Amino acid sequence: MISCRADEVDTTLGFTDLPFNTSYYHLHKPYDLPETQRYSFAGGVHRLWVYATDKPYRRGSPTKPRTELMISGYTYSSGIWQFEGQGYVPKGTNGVCIMQVFGATRRATSLMLRVYNGSLMYYQRAVIVPEIFDRWFRLNVIHDVGAGKVFVHVDGALVYEGADHGGSSHYFKCGVYAQKDMSSYMESRWKEIQIFNKN
């Protein structure tokens, strides 16, 4: 668990800290490239990058380029689940999803956190943290399946609360997944990732 300052809220109290290692996630990347050309892990930091001209994650997919950690070892359909990690987005990255709660009804996701013009946004509709570039920030995303709600905390502060989009199977993803108005190069970095749950 990431330590908190005295003025921050510890969102993990009452949750169970689950194991997190390479057996709990795998990489989505352009299908025609080796992992080392779009992902590195050194000094405890996952670095993920992608170019606007890259291929999708599998041949024939209509989706945009991505390099993401898919935390498929913790697919869930009930309870309260939490993603925690330190994120970093270098200046110039734009039009990209850096974290998502996958799974919904009539769409793919229950939450997308995107970066546009240096701001962290809920999809493309609301700025939740301005000036996110070139600094480490602590991200906690809580998904209460029973209540149908998601909560986003950045550096211990609640910055978004809203309804999820339904669905019966979910998991967390982080990295870079190109969206509308993408920059030519997109990157995010992650460290100290942990998964928590509460039934």
Beta bridge partners, 138, equal 86
- What are the angstrom distances between the C-alpha of 78 and each of 99, 160, 166, 181, 196? 20, 21, 11, 35, 13
**Ramachandran bin of 178, using left for φ above 0, alpha for ψ from -120 to 50, beta for the remaining angles:** beta
In single-letter form, the type of residue at position 100 comes to Q
- What are the angstrom distances between the C-alpha of 36 and each of 29, 55, 187? 10, 15, 14
Q: What pLDDT score was predicted for residue 7? A: 56
Query: Is the CB of residue 48 less than 8 Å from the CB of residue 175?
Result: yes
pLDDT tens digits for the chain (199 residues)? 455 454 577 999 999 999 999 999 999 999 999 999 999 999 999 999 999 999 999 999 999 999 999 999 999 999 999 999 999 999 999 999 999 999 999 899 999 999 999 999 999 988 999 999 999 999 999 999 999 999 999 999 999 999 999 999 999 999 999 999 999 999 999 999 999 999 7
Cα separation, 16 vs 100, whole angstroms: 21
Q: What pLDDT score was predicted for residue 97? A: 98
Q: What pLDDT score was predicted for residue 38? A: 98
Written in H, E and C, the secondary structure of 55-103 is: CCCCCCCCCCCEEEEEEEEEEECCCEEEEEEEEEECCCCCCEEEEEEEC
Q: What pLDDT score was predicted for residue 79? A: 96
Q: What pLDDT score was predicted for residue 199? A: 78
